[in-house]
Amino acid sequence: MRKFILALFLFVSFVLFADAPKYVFLFIGDGMAVTQRHAAEEFSKKIGRGPLLINSFPCKGLTATRSANRLVTDSAAAATAIACGEKTKNYTVGRNAEGKDVYSSAVAAKEAGKKVGIISTVTITHATPAAFYAHRAARGEGYGIAIDLVHSGFDFFAGGGLDGKYKDSKAKEFKKYGHAYKYAESKGYKIVRTKKDFLALKPSDGRILTRMTDGPLPYTIDIGEENPYPTLAELVAKGIEMLDNSNGFFMMAEGGRIDWAGHANDAATNVRETLAFDDAVKVALEFYEKHPKETLIVVTGDHETGGLTMGVANTGYSIDMGMLRYQTMSAGAFTKRLSSFYKKNPSLTIEDVKPLVEKAFGIVFDGLKDNLISLTDKERTDFLKAFESDMKFLKAKKEENRQYDGPKRYILGTTLSKILERRAGVAWSTGGHTAQSVLTTAIGCEAQLFNAPMDNTDIAKKIKSFYGK
Ligand SMILES: [Zn+2]
């Protein structure tokens, strides 16, 4: 009887939703609005990589981002809107403004018999992925979100770990993450610890939760020759392999650190993250090309981060995004190097850091070197001031920069990246989010639904409609 009901259900859904895509990819660039896409594209062209795939999709629409209580949304409210189709207050995950649980397109897909995968380059309990499976009053309830993750029963969770490592919130909470992994295991999840094991996964391995790191994956710009973690593109490729089945799948993949580079006001790191995101969409496009009639790819952002602008005063309207190529590590990684130099040699002088500055930013402090950036007098003064300020904090043993908004203790890295940004012709207005609209682009089956101006809640509504919700 059960089988008969299931068969009937499948038949009815086939008749009702004959046009609905069997395979749905939803890509979310956190903190990626129009300017981030444009800046990354201009940078990409300068380094010979060509235009961005995500900007070339035939269907597009500006998408409003405000939350229920703020014109400037946070990622939790934005993700709840994109995932579940309802506005909520900032910092709320998977609940509407009245505090009622709301359900995502991923849940709808699961109920319709699809396999479901959730991928992120930041922690998998972070606000954006969480909105697809969790229901919590506050995005900071990391442990509760981890438990909700296990209860979702989704098939594939990959990328960063469970632990947000926000040391400034309740430290005790984080000890519990070990239990959350054990709990996941007891409920049938296979916990994957290494990149090697991850790349060797087979569909017969069942439900997956990765623990290759407890925190986020590294910034793309900071990855050396040997990447100990999979890239976002590799996560998506494996996701496709694991989720592909005759009923179809829903996959959400987040480029989570575009946002973090925005908060850090680090343009070179920001554009590299967006390119890595574009590479991941390319993997989905290859799948689409094999199943063009049954596949939909939607690419959006949840909000803008940093108030990134292209065009600064007194540069004669000239922009050269190629200047950002001189930067070879994130400003945050630079600060970490500086601090490790200091630990080895507490009487560090400016002479000692000049080679690192050349390597990290292509900047020569004095004189000229071929193909490197020389400084104006004012820039040299700013450099010295920032160096002295960082030394003061290193001597006082102050901890590393905070990931998010708030005062930045270490300023030399940012001072140097700003020198490149000034020459590139880009600037930032805030260390937080802004109210700008984002761009949604789409290709494939039913992509025309996304060829219109939208509210962020519309994305969820359209995707849910494929699953009869
Ligand atoms: Zn953010």
pLDDT tens profile 246-296: 999 999 999 999 999 999 999 999 999 999 999 999 999 999 999 999 999
Per-residue pLDDT at 66 exceeds 60: yes
**For residue 11, pLDDT beyond 60:** no
Cα gap 66→83, rounded to integer Å: 15
From the list 246, 234, 248, the residue with the least C-alpha distance to 284 is 234
pLDDT-derived band at 149 (thresholds 50, 70, 90) equals very high
Q: What is the pLDDT of residue 17?
A: 54
Task: Please tell me the distance between residue 12's alpha carbon and the centre of ligand 1 in angstroms.
Answer: 42
Question: How many Cα atoms sit within 13 Å of 421 on the Cβ side?
Answer: 23
CA of 148 to the centre of ligand 1 (A): 22
What's the pLDDT score for residue 7?
63
Length of the chain, please? Answer: 469
Query: In angstroms, what is the span from residue 400 Cα to ligand 1's centroid?
Result: 19
Rg for the chain (alpha carbons), in Å? 23
**Looking at residue 400, what is its pLDDT?**
59
Q: Is 162 exposed, middle or buried (0-12, 13-18, 19+ CB in 10 A)?
A: buried
CATH code matching the domain that covers 21-308+432-465, chosen among 2.40.110.10, 1.10.3720.10, 3.40.720.10, 3.40.920.10? 3.40.720.10
Dihedral angle, C-alpha 280, 286, 292, 296, nearest 10 °: -10
Instruction: Report the alpha-carbon distance of residue 360 to residue 169 in Å, rounded.
Output: 32
pLDDT at residue 167 greater than cutoff 50: no
% of the chain surpassing 90 pLDDT: 84
Please give the distance, rounded to the nearest whole angstrom, from the Cα atom of residue 31 to the centre of ligand 1.
6
Question: For residue 12, what pLDDT is reported?
Answer: 52
- Where does CATH 3.40.720.10 sit in the chain? 21-308+432-465
Q: Is the pLDDT confidence value at 166 over 50?
A: no
Cβ 156 vs Cβ 208: under 8 Å:
yes
What is the distance in A from the centroid of ligand 1 to the CA of 320?
26
Q: How far is the CA of 84 from the centre of ligand 1 (A)?
A: 19
Q: How far is the CA of 30 from the centre of ligand 1 (A)?
A: 7
Residue 44 C-alpha to ligand 1 middle, in angstroms? 23
Check residue 371 and give its pLDDT.
87
Q: How confident is the model at residue 215 (pLDDT cuts 50, 70, 90)?
A: confident
User: Does the pLDDT of residue 456 top 60, yes or no?
Assistant: yes
Give residue 429 CA to ligand 1 midpoint distance, Å: 14
How many Cα atoms occupy the beta-carbon half-sphere of 343 within 13 Å? 8
Rounded to the nearest angstrom, the distance between the alpha carbon of 434 and the centre of ligand 1 is: 10
> Cβ atoms within 10 A of the Cβ of 325, count?
16
pTM of the predicted model, to two decimals? 0.94
Query: What distance in Å separates the CA atoms of residue 181 and residue 14, rounded to the nearest whole number?
Result: 37
Q: How far is the CA of 260 from the centre of ligand 1 (A)?
A: 6
Closest CA to 442 of 302, 288, 308: 288
- Expressed in angstroms and rounded, the spacing between residue 423 Cα and the centre of ligand 1 is 26
Please, are residues 320 and 373 in contact by the beta-carbon 8 Å criterion?
no
What spacing in Å lies between the alpha carbon of 305 and ligand 1's midpoint? 6
| pLDDT, average across residues 227-243 | 98
pLDDT score at 186:
97
Q: What is the pLDDT of residue 367?
A: 83
Rounded to the nearest whole angstrom, what is the distance from the C-alpha of residue 85 to the centroid of ligand 1? 20
pLDDT beyond 70 at 136: yes
Beta strands in 161-261, from DSSP E residues, in sequence order: 190-192, 208-210, 249-255
| Residue in 346, 330, 460 with CA at minimum distance from that of residue 403 | 330
Which pair of structure tokens corresponds to residue 7? 């068969």
Q: What percent of the chain has pLDDT over 70?
A: 91
pLDDT, one tens digit per residue, over 379-434 is 999 999 999 999 998 988 766 555 444 557 889 999 999 999 999 999 999 999 99
**Confidence label for 314 from pLDDT (cuts 50, 70 and 90):** confident
CA of 258 to the centre of ligand 1 (A): 9
Q: Which residues contact 60 (CB under 8 A, 6 or more apart)?
A: 439, 440, 441, 442, 450, 451
Write down the pLDDT at residue 407: 56
User: What pLDDT score was predicted for residue 368?
Assistant: 86
* For the ranges 51-65, 332-346, 397-411, the one whose mean pLDDT is highest: 51-65
* Mean pLDDT for the stretch of residues 94-108: 98
433 alpha carbon to ligand 1 midpoint, in Å? 6
Taking the C-alpha atoms of residue 460 and residue 458, their distance in angstroms, rounded to an integer, is 5
What one-character-per-residue DSSP string does 94-145 give?
A: SB-TTS-B---HHHHHHHTT-EEEEEESS-TTSHHHHTTT--BS-TT-HHHH
The alpha carbon of 75 and the centre of ligand 1 are apart by a number of angstroms equal to 6
